[in-house]
A and B are shown apart, each in its own frame.
Chain A
Amino acid sequence: AQSVTQLDSHVSVSEGTPVLLRCNYSSSYSPSLFWYVQHPNKGLQLLLKYTSAATLVKGINGFEAEFKKSETSFHLTKPSAHMSDAAEYFCVVSVRPDGNQFYFGTGTSLTVIP
């Protein structure tokens, strides 16, 4: 079975400081992993994805994530938070035998303090 655990339901950072949103996954097969962002009252937007190529993945708006198989982790980072980064972030796993079924984490709410 596949599952995703987002280790923090809320993260608060000051503007200009680094962001770390943690995600661990469980998968019986080689996974594809995604981070999506949802701004208030909006739909979901893809930030980045890992699909078995480079383990360090760069996404939009300065975000990146590193796939660590040994730790079953896919943490999302950004060197310097911006006010516009305040949103809900979802880590998602998908595995080939399940077709395109996505398994979502419960989300991390990021607050950026001016």
Chain B
Amino acid sequence: NAGVTQTPKFQVLKTGQSMTLQCAQDMNHEYMSWYRQDPGMGLRLIHYSVGAGITDQGEVPNGYNVSRSTTEDFPLRLLSAAPSQTSVYFCASSYSRSNPYEQYFGPGTRLTVT
């Protein structure tokens, strides 16, 4: 199993550009989520999905869109990048939303918006 994979590893955007961060898992996990990590703030939940076709907002959803057309993939879209979105982004997955199973994290995408 590859686990949770994320692409790209690094990205530099100009203000106003859009892009999609890719996330995939091959563990047949129902639950997937996106976090951003900023210094001194831990990880904050952006969006999550409890299964294909179902998504919901987390703590800091503004400026981001998600969709879940398949169990495996959960892309995160930045609609119009802003410097405040400079961060490290982690995708995570776990087996089921109904039990507090551990989450498996991808390696992260480091995004800089200039």
Chain A contacts to B: CB under 8 angstroms: 9, 32, 34, 36, 42-46, 49, 51, 90, 94-96, 99-102, 104-107
Contacts and interface: CB of A to CB of B under 8 A. Distances in A.
Nearest to B110: A41
Interface of B: 31, 33, 35, 40-45, 48, 50, 58, 90, 92, 94, 96-103, 105-108
Contacts of B107: 42-43
Residue with the greatest number of chain B CB neighbours at <10 A, chosen from A32, A42, A101, A106: A101
Given A90-B42, A107-B42, A102 B103 contact: yes
A42 B88 CA distance: 11
Contacts of A94: 100
A106 B101 contact: no
21 contacts: A32-B100, A34-B102, A42-B107, A43-B90, A43-B105, A43-B108, A44-B43, A44-B105, A90-B42, A90-B43, A95-B100, A99-B50, A100-B33, A100-B48, A100-B50, A100-B94, A101-B33, A102-B45, A102-B103, A104-B44, A105-B42
